[in-house]
Chains A and B, each alone.
Chain A
Amino acid sequence: MLDIQHLTIEFATRTERVCAVNDVSLSIGAGEMLGLVGESGSGKTTLGLAVTRLLPEPPAIIRQGAVHFQGRDLLQQPLRTLHRVRGGDIAYVFQEPATSLNPVLTVGRQLVEMLELHTAQRGRAAQQAAMGLLQRVGIPAAEARLRSYPHELSGGTKQRIMIAMAIASQPRLLIADEPTTALDVTLERQIVALLKQLQRDFSLSMLVISHNIHLIRQLADRLAVMWQGQIVEVGPAQRVLQQPQHDYTKHLLAAQPRVAGLAGGA
């Protein structure tokens, strides 16, 4: 589905040059969920944005590498053709739904806009489809929600709407960057269940980027650990979590707070 080859990205500021992503190769199969784990500064967010060249260039410089998706190298495509891919075949869900949603447009407007942009649906059909999407992501009273403005909604509902907008175009790949970090843990659980459901229903491939190991553990089939711009370990999620090979992975897992006296409290 997605094959990243030897990707290297640098950031050039007036004073220095920083290598954010260093010779990273990663692949995601069809219908697979890959978890990308790392702490701040590991380059994981940069990597996620680079897949569809969402990084401003400059200051970002793609030194080398290729991103193969549906038979083409996305990094070689002219920038203006990529907007069809973004939100289309490759959709994103970000951390802060509050800033991702336009505050002056109703939810319905924004959803319909997505649908009209990436599918053949228009007008009435798009409205129906929008309502269907809201129901898909588990939002009750979908009709009323369409007329709501983002500020009237709770964080969990907004994130569900973000997910609805992401799947509106029936993407092949969903990239979620810290999708639940801004949410309470009980909500996180619901979103995890939703994402799993959607993955089953649509045979979605997913790249979930997070520092939250608990989230990745629930979602990922395979797990890649990123540190200082490099992938230090990758493998089946269970294996990596239970038998980490690389020192950093071991260090990261050991640093997770453990509930005292509880077996498997991690």
Chain B
Amino acid sequence: MKNKEFKTFSTQLGGVSRRDFMKYCTIMAASMGLPLSAGAKIAEAVVSPKRPPVIWLSAQDCTGCTEALLRSTHPTLEHLILDLISLDYHETLSTPSGHLAEEAKAESIKANKGKFILVVDGSVPLKDGGIYCMVAGRPIVDIIKETAAQAAAVVAIGSCSSWGGIPSADPNPTGASPLSKVVTDKPVVCIPGCPPNPYNFLSTVLYFLTFKKLPDLDDKFRPKFAYGRLIHENCERRPHFDAGRFATEFGDENHRKGYCLYKLGCKGPETYNNCPTILFGDVGSGSWPVGTGHPCFGCSEGGVGFHKPLFSKASLHLVTTPDFYPHVVETQGPSVMGTLGGVAVAAAAAGAAYAAVNSAAKTLEEKEEGKK
């Protein structure tokens, strides 16, 4: 992209220099594990004059996912994303509210039918006709169904819309369900987490804008670049686990030394996410739960987060070899005694056989004598 071309967009991007903009796109490419040349492609997609519209519907959400996005730095939400995409409806970030907001949404959907991206945060209550979450006087489940039918792509951000999240915790009185239960005719890309790392969401959206297709998804429709590995596989405390060094109580000697938190209930071994790799908040190393000394509770994993007790031990999805070794000769069980015993047994058997033959012959002889 030439400097001349870029200048026409630079005001839209808040006066960012071409150099900084290219840097940002390259960083985004790298964080998705794409080759650096993809950064140039991302840049092209970003400054394309047609900003894809995004409709953001919120169901049983806490606004945490939006809050996480607000704290992203590359790109910052206001300077880059609001100019990259046209966020036509968002309960928190929309300028208008009430009827005006609803009108703006309806217009955008009409104008961009089949072309907009639908993002949903929060779980969808299905019990009793969905009355437990009403927006603009209607159950949100109906609004979502209508809107999703006309969307080009559907993204579920956060654990709630991905698999149910907090509202779906036992006894789930509202029938809180993941988005995939409501939108069944299209693949629903899931970005779980409570909240998810904002870059997992941003990277996925940018990937879609750049390559016009979704990144590789796993069997739960989560992008593999972020959710392909267990937290346990990337954890900085893994060497402690492999060597059997565990903290057993909060504040004890081992906890202070930063040992593995498995025995304190860390759910890293059964949770898929990239927290230990990209951390949170861009504030340096250790800025994630385990890094601060608290066990992971599996916020992004359905069946683990808000379901398994915080301090119960995780089940291990991948059991691997430890730090220690078996020895060449494990001194267990008798060996010398066995050999001697064997000899004794053999000798006894031979002797018994001889005696038996002898006594059998003698008995026969006596019988013969008796007969005479």
Determine if chain A interacts with chain B. no
